[in-house]
Protein backbone atom coordinates (compact mmCIF):
# COMPACT_ATOMS: atom_id res chain seq x y z
CA UNK A 1 0.00 0.00 0.00
CA UNK A 2 2.91 2.41 0.75
CA UNK A 3 4.11 2.11 -2.83
CA UNK A 4 0.61 2.77 -4.14
CA UNK A 5 0.31 5.88 -1.97
CA UNK A 6 3.62 7.27 -3.24
CA UNK A 7 2.57 6.54 -6.82
CA UNK A 8 -0.78 8.26 -6.32
CA UNK A 9 0.92 11.32 -4.82
CA UNK A 10 3.39 11.43 -7.69
CA UNK A 11 0.66 11.35 -10.33
CA UNK A 12 -1.27 14.10 -8.59
CA UNK A 13 1.83 16.26 -8.32
CA UNK A 14 2.65 15.85 -12.02
CA UNK A 15 -0.92 16.74 -13.01
CA UNK A 16 -0.81 19.88 -10.88
CA UNK A 17 2.57 21.00 -12.20
CA UNK A 18 1.16 21.13 -15.73
CA UNK A 19 0.03 24.67 -14.91
CA UNK A 20 3.72 25.57 -14.96
CA UNK A 21 3.96 24.24 -18.53
CA UNK A 22 1.19 26.64 -19.47
CA UNK A 23 3.04 29.58 -18.00
CA UNK A 24 6.24 28.65 -19.89
CA UNK A 25 4.28 28.46 -23.14
CA UNK A 26 2.89 31.91 -22.44
CA UNK A 27 6.41 33.37 -22.16
CA UNK A 28 7.89 31.86 -25.30
CA UNK A 29 5.11 32.25 -27.84
CA UNK A 30 3.29 35.31 -29.10
CA UNK A 31 0.17 33.42 -30.12
CA UNK A 32 -1.61 30.34 -28.90
CA UNK A 33 -1.53 27.34 -31.23
CA UNK A 34 -5.33 27.26 -31.45
CA UNK A 35 -5.51 24.08 -33.52
CA UNK A 36 -3.44 22.13 -31.01
CA UNK A 37 -5.24 23.67 -28.03
CA UNK A 38 -8.68 22.85 -29.43
CA UNK A 39 -7.74 19.25 -30.22
CA UNK A 40 -5.95 18.78 -26.89
CA UNK A 41 -8.86 20.11 -24.84
CA UNK A 42 -11.27 17.93 -26.83
CA UNK A 43 -8.99 14.94 -26.27
CA UNK A 44 -8.91 15.60 -22.52
CA UNK A 45 -12.70 15.88 -22.43
CA UNK A 46 -13.04 12.61 -24.35
CA UNK A 47 -10.78 10.80 -21.91
CA UNK A 48 -12.61 12.22 -18.90
CA UNK A 49 -16.15 11.56 -20.16
CA UNK A 50 -15.43 8.03 -21.38
CA UNK A 51 -13.52 6.90 -18.33
CA UNK A 52 -16.07 8.50 -15.99
CA UNK A 53 -19.18 6.92 -17.51
CA UNK A 54 -17.75 3.62 -18.74
CA UNK A 55 -15.23 2.77 -16.02
CA UNK A 56 -15.43 4.89 -12.86
CA UNK A 57 -19.23 5.02 -12.52
CA UNK A 58 -19.46 1.27 -13.15
CA UNK A 59 -16.74 0.52 -10.57
CA UNK A 60 -18.55 2.71 -8.05
CA UNK A 61 -21.85 0.94 -8.70
CA UNK A 62 -20.30 -2.54 -8.39
CA UNK A 63 -18.61 -1.60 -5.11
CA UNK A 64 -21.71 -0.01 -3.59
CA UNK A 65 -24.10 -2.73 -4.75
CA UNK A 66 -21.79 -5.34 -3.21
CA UNK A 67 -21.74 -3.43 0.08
CA UNK A 68 -25.32 -2.16 0.29
CA UNK A 69 -27.43 -4.32 -2.02
CA UNK A 70 -28.86 -3.73 -5.49
CA UNK A 71 -31.31 -0.85 -5.05
CA UNK A 72 -29.58 0.99 -2.15
CA UNK A 73 -26.22 0.59 -3.90
CA UNK A 74 -27.55 2.04 -7.14
CA UNK A 75 -29.13 4.97 -5.30
CA UNK A 76 -25.86 5.59 -3.43
CA UNK A 77 -23.98 5.59 -6.75
CA UNK A 78 -26.37 8.13 -8.24
CA UNK A 79 -26.16 10.27 -5.10
CA UNK A 80 -22.37 10.26 -5.26
CA UNK A 81 -22.34 11.04 -9.00
CA UNK A 82 -24.69 14.00 -8.86
CA UNK A 83 -23.24 15.05 -5.49
CA UNK A 84 -19.85 15.40 -7.20
CA UNK A 85 -21.45 17.53 -9.89
CA UNK A 86 -23.13 19.69 -7.26
CA UNK A 87 -19.86 20.15 -5.37
CA UNK A 88 -17.90 21.39 -8.37
CA UNK A 89 -20.88 23.50 -9.53
CA UNK A 90 -21.02 25.23 -6.12
CA UNK A 91 -17.29 25.90 -6.22
CA UNK A 92 -17.72 27.31 -9.71
CA UNK A 93 -20.68 29.45 -8.60
CA UNK A 94 -18.76 31.13 -5.80
CA UNK A 95 -15.76 31.99 -8.01
CA UNK A 96 -16.32 35.51 -9.40
CA UNK A 97 -16.44 35.47 -13.20
CA UNK A 98 -13.44 37.79 -13.55
CA UNK A 99 -11.18 35.15 -12.01
CA UNK A 100 -12.95 32.02 -13.12
CA UNK A 101 -10.54 29.64 -14.87
CA UNK A 102 -13.40 28.32 -16.98
CA UNK A 103 -12.96 31.47 -19.05
CA UNK A 104 -9.98 30.03 -20.89
CA UNK A 105 -7.79 32.63 -22.57
CA UNK A 106 -5.09 32.40 -25.20
CA UNK A 107 -1.77 34.20 -24.99
CA UNK A 108 -2.96 36.87 -27.41
CA UNK A 109 -6.11 37.67 -25.39
CA UNK A 110 -4.14 40.05 -23.16
CA UNK A 111 -2.78 42.99 -25.12
CA UNK A 112 0.92 43.77 -24.95
CA UNK A 113 1.83 47.15 -23.53
CA UNK A 114 -1.02 48.05 -21.14
CA UNK A 115 -1.46 51.61 -19.99
CA UNK A 116 -0.31 52.64 -16.51
CA UNK A 117 -3.89 52.48 -15.23
CA UNK A 118 -4.21 48.89 -16.42
CA UNK A 119 -1.14 47.47 -14.65
CA UNK A 120 -2.82 47.17 -11.24
CA UNK A 121 -5.95 45.64 -12.79
CA UNK A 122 -3.90 43.07 -14.70
CA UNK A 123 -1.95 42.08 -11.60
CA UNK A 124 -5.14 41.78 -9.57
CA UNK A 125 -6.73 39.68 -12.30
CA UNK A 126 -3.74 37.35 -12.34
CA UNK A 127 -3.76 36.93 -8.56
CA UNK A 128 -7.50 36.34 -8.58
CA UNK A 129 -7.18 33.78 -11.37
CA UNK A 130 -4.41 31.96 -9.48
CA UNK A 131 -6.65 31.71 -6.39
CA UNK A 132 -9.61 30.57 -8.48
CA UNK A 133 -7.59 27.87 -10.22
CA UNK A 134 -6.17 26.68 -6.90
CA UNK A 135 -9.71 26.26 -5.54
CA UNK A 136 -10.77 24.35 -8.66
CA UNK A 137 -7.67 22.15 -8.58
CA UNK A 138 -8.27 21.01 -5.01
CA UNK A 139 -11.11 18.51 -5.71
CA UNK A 140 -9.28 17.41 -8.88
CA UNK A 141 -6.33 16.46 -6.66
CA UNK A 142 -8.59 14.38 -4.44
CA UNK A 143 -10.08 12.71 -7.53
CA UNK A 144 -6.69 11.86 -9.06
CA UNK A 145 -5.24 10.58 -5.78
CA UNK A 146 -8.14 8.34 -4.77
CA UNK A 147 -8.51 6.95 -8.29
CA UNK A 148 -4.80 6.10 -8.51
CA UNK A 149 -4.95 4.51 -5.09
CA UNK A 150 -7.78 2.19 -6.10
CA UNK A 151 -6.66 1.54 -9.70
CA UNK A 152 -3.19 2.79 -10.79
CA UNK A 153 -3.97 2.44 -14.51
CA UNK A 154 -7.12 4.50 -14.11
CA UNK A 155 -5.15 7.04 -12.08
CA UNK A 156 -2.66 7.50 -14.93
CA UNK A 157 -5.46 8.18 -17.41
CA UNK A 158 -7.10 10.72 -15.12
CA UNK A 159 -3.78 12.42 -14.34
CA UNK A 160 -3.01 12.83 -18.06
CA UNK A 161 -6.44 14.30 -18.77
CA UNK A 162 -6.19 16.69 -15.82
CA UNK A 163 -2.66 17.73 -16.82
CA UNK A 164 -3.79 18.62 -20.36
CA UNK A 165 -6.54 20.88 -19.14
CA UNK A 166 -4.24 22.48 -16.56
CA UNK A 167 -1.96 23.87 -19.29
CA UNK A 168 -4.31 26.66 -20.49
CA UNK A 169 -5.06 27.44 -16.84
CA UNK A 170 -1.35 28.12 -16.36
CA UNK A 171 -1.50 30.54 -19.28
CA UNK A 172 -4.49 32.29 -17.70
CA UNK A 173 -2.47 32.95 -14.53
CA UNK A 174 0.89 33.82 -16.06
CA UNK A 175 -0.10 36.19 -18.87
CA UNK A 176 -1.74 39.00 -16.86
CA UNK A 177 0.90 38.82 -14.10
CA UNK A 178 3.72 38.98 -16.63
CA UNK A 179 2.26 41.92 -18.54
CA UNK A 180 1.52 43.77 -15.29
CA UNK A 181 4.96 43.28 -13.70
CA UNK A 182 7.31 42.36 -16.55
CA UNK A 183 8.61 39.66 -14.22
CA UNK A 184 8.59 36.18 -15.76
CA UNK A 185 9.70 34.51 -12.53
CA UNK A 186 6.89 36.02 -10.48
CA UNK A 187 4.32 34.96 -13.07
CA UNK A 188 5.76 31.45 -13.20
CA UNK A 189 5.79 31.14 -9.40
CA UNK A 190 2.12 32.08 -9.10
CA UNK A 191 1.16 29.67 -11.86
CA UNK A 192 3.29 26.96 -10.25
CA UNK A 193 1.75 27.55 -6.81
CA UNK A 194 -1.81 27.43 -8.14
CA UNK A 195 -1.05 23.95 -9.50
CA UNK A 196 0.17 22.77 -6.09
CA UNK A 197 -3.45 22.78 -4.94
CA UNK A 198 -3.75 19.38 -6.64
CA UNK A 199 -1.20 17.57 -4.43
CA UNK A 200 -2.63 19.54 -1.49
CA UNK A 201 -5.99 17.93 -2.26
CA UNK A 202 -4.26 14.55 -2.35
CA UNK A 203 -2.66 15.25 1.03
CA UNK A 204 -6.05 16.12 2.54
CA UNK A 205 -7.48 12.91 1.08
CA UNK A 206 -4.60 10.95 2.62
CA UNK A 207 -4.77 12.57 6.06
CA UNK A 208 -8.56 12.77 6.45
CA UNK A 209 -10.14 10.16 4.19
CA UNK A 210 -7.65 7.30 4.45
CA UNK A 211 -8.88 6.02 7.85
CA UNK A 212 -12.41 5.78 6.45
CA UNK A 213 -11.61 4.23 3.06
CA UNK A 214 -13.77 1.12 3.17
CA UNK A 215 -15.83 -0.27 0.30
CA UNK A 216 -18.70 2.17 0.74
CA UNK A 217 -16.39 5.20 0.99
CA UNK A 218 -14.43 4.18 -2.10
CA UNK A 219 -17.67 3.63 -4.00
CA UNK A 220 -19.11 7.03 -3.07
CA UNK A 221 -15.82 8.82 -3.81
CA UNK A 222 -15.52 7.09 -7.18
CA UNK A 223 -19.08 8.08 -8.08
CA UNK A 224 -18.35 11.67 -7.03
CA UNK A 225 -15.12 11.67 -9.07
CA UNK A 226 -17.10 10.59 -12.13
CA UNK A 227 -19.56 13.43 -11.58
CA UNK A 228 -16.81 16.00 -11.08
CA UNK A 229 -14.99 14.94 -14.25
CA UNK A 230 -18.12 14.93 -16.41
CA UNK A 231 -19.05 18.40 -15.13
CA UNK A 232 -15.56 19.78 -15.81
CA UNK A 233 -15.63 18.30 -19.32
CA UNK A 234 -19.04 19.75 -20.18
CA UNK A 235 -18.66 23.08 -18.42
CA UNK A 236 -14.99 23.84 -19.07
CA UNK A 237 -13.15 21.70 -21.57
CA UNK A 238 -15.64 21.41 -24.40
CA UNK A 239 -16.70 25.10 -24.40
CA UNK A 240 -13.03 26.12 -24.38
CA UNK A 241 -12.22 23.65 -27.16
CA UNK A 242 -15.12 25.02 -29.22
CA UNK A 243 -13.87 28.57 -28.67
CA UNK A 244 -10.59 27.73 -30.40
CA UNK A 245 -12.10 25.20 -32.80
CA UNK A 246 -11.09 24.94 -36.43
CA UNK A 247 -12.54 22.36 -38.81
CA UNK A 248 -14.17 20.32 -36.02
CA UNK A 249 -10.80 19.56 -34.41
CA UNK A 250 -12.33 19.60 -30.92
CA UNK A 251 -14.78 16.84 -31.88
CA UNK A 252 -12.01 14.80 -33.53
CA UNK A 253 -9.96 15.28 -30.37
CA UNK A 254 -12.96 14.20 -28.26
CA UNK A 255 -13.42 11.01 -30.29
CA UNK A 256 -9.67 10.32 -30.24
CA UNK A 257 -9.60 10.72 -26.46
CA UNK A 258 -12.47 8.27 -26.06
CA UNK A 259 -10.85 5.80 -28.45
CA UNK A 260 -7.45 5.95 -26.74
CA UNK A 261 -9.07 5.51 -23.34
CA UNK A 262 -11.20 2.59 -24.58
CA UNK A 263 -8.21 0.81 -26.15
CA UNK A 264 -6.04 1.35 -23.06
CA UNK A 265 -8.75 -0.13 -20.82
CA UNK A 266 -8.97 -3.20 -23.05
CA UNK A 267 -5.18 -3.64 -23.15
CA UNK A 268 -4.76 -3.51 -19.37
CA UNK A 269 -7.85 -5.53 -18.49
Quick check: 230 and 53 in contact, CB under 8 A? yes
CA nearest to 191, candidates 176, 163, 165, 171: 171
d(CA 59, CA 25) in angstroms, rounded, equals 37
Is 225 in contact with 147 (CB distance < 8 Å)?
yes
CA 53 – CA 203 distance, rounded (Å): 26
- The answer on whether 214 is annotated among ligand-binding residues is no
The verdict on whether residue 116 carries a ligand-binding annotation is: no
165 labelled ligand-binding: yes
Please indicate if the annotation marks 55 as binding a ligand.
Answer: no
> Is 100 within any annotated ligand binding site?
no
Q: Any binding-site annotation on 169?
A: yes
Residues 6+ apart with CB under 8 A from 182: none
Helix (H) or strand (E) holding 68: helix 57-68
DSSP of 13-62, one letter per residue? HHHHHHHHHHHHHHHH-SS--HHHHHHHHHHHHHHHHHIIIIIIHHHHHH
Residue numbers belonging to the annotated binding site for Zn(2+):
140, 165, 169
Residue numbers belonging to the annotated binding site:
137, 140, 165-166, 169, 198
Residue numbers belonging to the annotated binding site for Fe(2+):
137, 140, 166, 169, 198
Amino acid sequence: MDGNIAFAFGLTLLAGLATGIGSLLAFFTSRTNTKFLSAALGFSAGVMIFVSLVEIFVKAKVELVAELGDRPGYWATLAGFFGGMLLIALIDHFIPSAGNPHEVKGVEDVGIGPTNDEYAKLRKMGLFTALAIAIHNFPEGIATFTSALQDPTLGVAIAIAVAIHNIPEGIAVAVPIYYATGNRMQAFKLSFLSGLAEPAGALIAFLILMPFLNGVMFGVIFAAVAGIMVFISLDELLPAAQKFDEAHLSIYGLIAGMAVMAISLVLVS
